[in-house]
Structure 1
Amino acid sequence: MQADKLIICAYHNVGYRCIEELVRQGADIALIFTHEDSPTEEIWFKSVRELAERHGIPYLTTDISLPENVERVRAIGPDFLFSFYYRTMIKPAVLEIPKRGAFNLHGSYLPKYRGRVPVNWAVINGESETGATLHHMVEKPDAGAIVDQERVEIAFTDTAFDVFNKITDAAAAVMARAWPLLREGRAACRPMNLAEGSYFGGRKPADGRIDWQQSAVRIYNLIRGVAHPYPGAFSHLAGEKVIIWSAWPVEGTGEPGRIVSHRPLLVGTGAGLLEIRSLQAENGDEMSATEFITDARQFT
């Protein structure tokens, strides 16, 4: 019996791990679409391109939805199409080609946190759990029927990086379970109720600006939600941009943005105090709060 033929669109650690799992199970991957790394982005994750090269799998770094690539996919005639953290919307003309379906691995417990950067949003919003979901791809993003999903805990001390690592493990576990069932035609298919979920857009570095009128917990969640390797949460002190990489909410009161103590470095918020533990002045090096010296008294 001839093996099912796969085309995969993938990037980042989730893409890397899911492809690794399919290779481990002996899947016939005919072609991989991935991305060129952006020169403006900190590349801290594994390379799908290098994984493809190591296993001798053909790959392209051009958009799968380009007309010439649609024809290329049609000529291959895949049984399955998978998208693992691919950053470009895949057009319906592509989704209709695979004989047995097109599937996406999303980094949230759908239908919650459909859309962009779901891990960061979940941490910023103070969620206690999220997950990884494999679902059918349809024209509307992250809206197709659910095949399998796995929850992951978000600890109050977790950064978005910590949660992303948990989701990467969960994604690989989902694929380990789901691929044999998909291959055998026995996979579950549960319609997604979008009314029970939420949709979020992408984030820009400017969205990391701290609003000191918010509570210490809300500000702390923003800080850990955009900490390394992401651009960081920031404010201004004496006219200079300062990135706050690590902090902790504590009890107390103070005028929002006002430094009430330098040792430890405590700042007033809309509710509670925020203890800043590490920070970085613009064009400077990251340092602990105990190393940071300033006469300024107000973050803005």
Structure 2
Amino acid sequence: MRVVSFGFQTWGRRTLQALIDSRHEVVLAVTHPASDHSYKGIWGDSVEELARERGIPVHLTERADAETIDLVKRAEPDIIVVNSWYTWMPPELYTLPPHGTLNLHDSLLPKFTGFSPVLWALISGASETGLTIHRMDEGLDTGDIIVQKSLPIGPAATGTELVLAGMDLIPEALNEALDAIDAGTAVWRPQNKAERTFFHKRSDRDSRIDWSWPAVDLERFVRALSAPYPPAFAHYRGQRVEVLAATVSEGCYGGTNGRVVVHEDGAAVVCGPDAFRGNNRALTITRVRTADGVEHAAAEFFARGGYLTDSPE
């Protein structure tokens, strides 16, 4: 089949590479211009660079405007494939090819629709994540599903490890979907809208530690926000401190949420609901980084004790 690819960042590049390696023909690659936006730079591998290396026509645009639609029409695709496209695609475009448009989304839809699904899945305590290929329609990640691949979330997995593992699912899933469509054997499964969960875009506020959460949830939170993502943070004696590594304490700690208790293995921070009852595990922080970029062993950094807070005091 003749394929037009819409994509950006590493997800888009990995998808374009999978298409190039398939038996199908990529006739046009549409991508966004390079961006200085901090989030878009996290996984910044270039779709444009790969397309030009392989002699594939490239169109750079921020949105699917009239020029973009005209170029796609002239490319005469049998299908469009989308992964990591940041702006709205009009029905005139996604219904243009005979086989419509496929979108790749890194979750097991209808769970974790929206943004940063892998991070939210880990933070929420889900047992698995994965990759869904579905038909694009007027909703956000709501179209009929053709292929899903699951990925277990291990007890020590980081957000970065899961994102990379999810990208590794792209070639097999995409080949399965395209070959089934081409052969006329595709089976489409409607999504159950009642099971849909939507997660919003992440911002700096979403990396701030909430000490009312139980320690097991906070430990996952720290693992989810692994480099290159903005790490979990709190404030200590007026300065912002990034929490890079932590474990759940063996014993229970009581008192006021955010109170630091230093011991040989790190700094145990009182957390969780009804902490004053003394029934909660603590989050034992083992490594932190300060605003100057310097990393510290937590036991040494928090030697004076005190409190970790939501804002500078």
TM-score of the pair, normalised by structure 1: 0.93
Aligned 8 A contact 2:106 2:118 in 1? yes
> Structure 2: how far apart are the matches of 1:268 and 1:38?
41
- Contact kept, 8 Å, 1:205 with 1:232, in 2: the verdict is no
Match of 1:253 in 2: 253
Match of 1:116 in 2: 115
Counterpart Cα distance in 1 of 2:258 and 2:42: 33
Instruction: Name the SS for the 2:308 alignment partner.
Output: coil
What residue in structure 1 maps to residue 277 of structure 2?
Answer: none
* Structure 2 match to 1:164: 163
- Please say if residues 262 and 299 of structure 2, whose CA atoms lie closer than 8 Å, have aligned partners that are also in contact: no
Q: Match of 1:33, SS?
A: strand
State the 1:87 CA deviation. 2.2
- Matched residue SS, 1:51: helix
1:97 maps to 96
1:272 equivalent in structure 2: 281
How do residues 47-62 of structure 1 correspond to structure 2 at under 5 angstroms?
A: 47-62=46-61
Matches for 1:23-102 after TM superposition, within 5 Å: 23-41=20-38, 42-102=41-101
Taking the aligned partners of 1:109 and 1:184, their CA distance within structure 2 comes to 25
SS at match of 2:234: strand
Summarize the alignment of residues 215-294 of structure 1 with structure 2, pairs less than 5 Å apart: 215-251=214-250, 252-254=252-254, 255-263=256-264, 264-270=266-272, 271-290=280-299, 292=301, 294=303
Q: Secondary structure in 1 aligned to 2:169?
A: helix
Instruction: Give the AA of the match of 1:267.
Output: V
The answer to whether the 8 Å contact 2:262/2:302 transfers is no
The whole-number CA distance in structure 2 between the counterparts of 1:231 and 1:36 is 23
- The CA distance in 1 between the partners of 2:235 and 2:117, in whole Å, is 27
1:243-288 Cα offsets, whole Å, 9 max, x none, are: 1121111232133111111432211111311111221112232333
> Partner of 1:13 in structure 2?
10
Structure 1 counterpart of 2:285, one-letter code: I
Ranges in structure 2 where 5+ consecutive residues have no aligned partner? 273-279
Alignment of 1:91-240 (within 5 A): 91-240=90-239
**Stretch moving more, 138-147 or 189-198:** 189-198
Name the count of aligned residue pairs: 297
Is the deviation greater in 19-28 or in 199-208? 19-28
State the shift of 1:193 in Å. 1.1
**Shift in Å, 1:182:** 1.7
Q: Deviations over 1:63-111 (max 9, x none)?
A: 3411221222223232101101222232222112112111101000111
Q: Show structure 1 runs of 5+ residues with no match.
A: none
62-71 or 107-116, larger mean C-alpha shift: 62-71
1:45 is displaced (CA, Å) by 4.6
Code of the aligned partner of 2:284: E
Asked if 1 retains the 8 angstrom alpha-carbon contact of 2:18 and 2:170, the reply is no
Deviates more, 1:126-135 or 1:45-54: 45-54
| Contact persistence 2:285–2:298 (CA under 8 A) | yes
Change (3 A) 1:34 1:114: same
Moved more, 108-117 or 13-22: 13-22
Percent identical pairs in the alignment equals 33
In 2, are the aligned partners of 1:210 and 1:233 still within 8 Å (CA)?
Answer: yes
TM-score by length of 2: 0.89
Following TM superposition, by how much is the alpha carbon of 1:17 offset from its aligned partner in structure 2, in angstroms?
A: 2.3
Amino acid at match of 2:267: L
**Which stretch of the first structure deviates more once superposed, 17-26 or 124-133?**
17-26
Per-residue CA deviations over 1:109-151 (Å, capped at 9, x if unaligned) read: 1111111111111011011101100000001011111001110
